[in-house]
Amino acid sequence: MLARTLLAAAAVLLLAPRPASACSKRHETPFELYDAAARVAEVQVTATPGRHQAGMAQLRVLRTLKGSPRATLQGQETNTSCHVGYRTGRRALVFLGPRGETLGQYEGYLERRADDPLVLALRAYAAARDDDARVRVLVDTIASAPPQVKDEAAYYLAGRPDLLARVDVPARERLAAAGAADPREQPLLVVLARLELDFPAPPPAPYRNFYADIADLLRPRDDLDDLNTAALADVIGQSRGGHDPRRIRAMDRCERLNGRALYRVFYYGHSVAEQLWPKLAEACRTGAPLSGH
């Protein structure tokens, strides 16, 4: 059941084709990869090390989005189950680390036209000079982009309490309208819940409504709203159960008070191991994100 739920939740988010072989990794949005990358560019692939071969792909730069401009770059290909999939002659958006490693494996190499909505959204995100401008780009993308790109922006925003705190009243209204106009199972439901806004129930589905379930966990207002981080940490440490709604809501409130992500919000859609909760309580108390997550 867990495997089916994970597949259903990820299906709408992956913009790049999955490798033919099994690849186990969490989903990383293009916006998250942009933040982590040393270089982001629109490129044309001029050479690869060969099908399923490890080595460096040669890339001609068409447009630089992050990092100092260069005429050419190299992107690292692997021969693992998470191989990137560089293909000679293709135009692509790439997210590279300082040594040319392709961040996010195959999600760090997205074959896209110059006018693709994701490319346009990333150009706008790259041009943003502060967090308020980045929030405007994300809200614009959620409000106007096609569903797949909208979902990537919403997935990213849902996990950034620091950016959610910068969503002003007009932006909240746009997000609420976007949810009402598109009543389906989508990450935007979690954004609306964390902003304390109403969200539409998705239509019945034969599988679990993953995002709606998380939104339902986070949305209720209760006495936790009146507690400080120390008291919230006590609630988290004293409660019991890997999927205790009160614990999860306490973590949400704690992140918003700390103004930063302490743990990945979408992980709460699955039962969190009991032995991890004391570490989450300490993260709430100190404001330091849980290491490795």
Domains of the chain: 26-117 (2.40.50.120), 128-218 (no CATH), 223-286 (no CATH)
Task: Determine the average pLDDT of the residues in 44-50.
Answer: 95
Residue 18 has pLDDT above 70, yes or no: no
Beta-ladder partners of 56 = 76
Average pLDDT estimate for 229-252: 91
Cα–Cα distance for residue pair 94/40, rounded to 1 Å: 6
pLDDT digits (tens, 9 = 90+) for 153-171: 999 999 999 999 999 999 9
Of 31, 37, 33, 9, the closest CA to residue 138 belongs to 31
Question: Would you state the pLDDT for residue 16?
Answer: 43
Is residue 20 pLDDT above 60, yes or no?
no
Distance CA 16, CA 150 (A): 15
* Average pLDDT over the chain, rounded to an integer: 90
CA–CA separation, 42 vs 61, rounded Å? 6
Q: What is the pLDDT of residues 82-122, one digit of tens each?
A: 899 999 999 999 999 999 999 999 999 999 999 999 999 99
State how far the Cα of 285 lies from the Cα of 218, in Å rounded to an integer.
20
> Which pLDDT belongs to residue 201?
85
Tell me how far the alpha carbon of residue 94 is from its chain's centroid: 17
The pTM assigned to this predicted structure is 0.90
Would you say residue 191 has pLDDT above 80? yes
10 Å CB burial of residue 274 (0-12, 13-18, 19+) is: exposed
Residue 207, pLDDT score: 83
The answer to whether the Cα torsion of 227, 233, 238, 241 is positive or negative is: positive
Strand order in the sheet with 72-77: 72-77, 55-66, 39-47, 91-96, 109-111
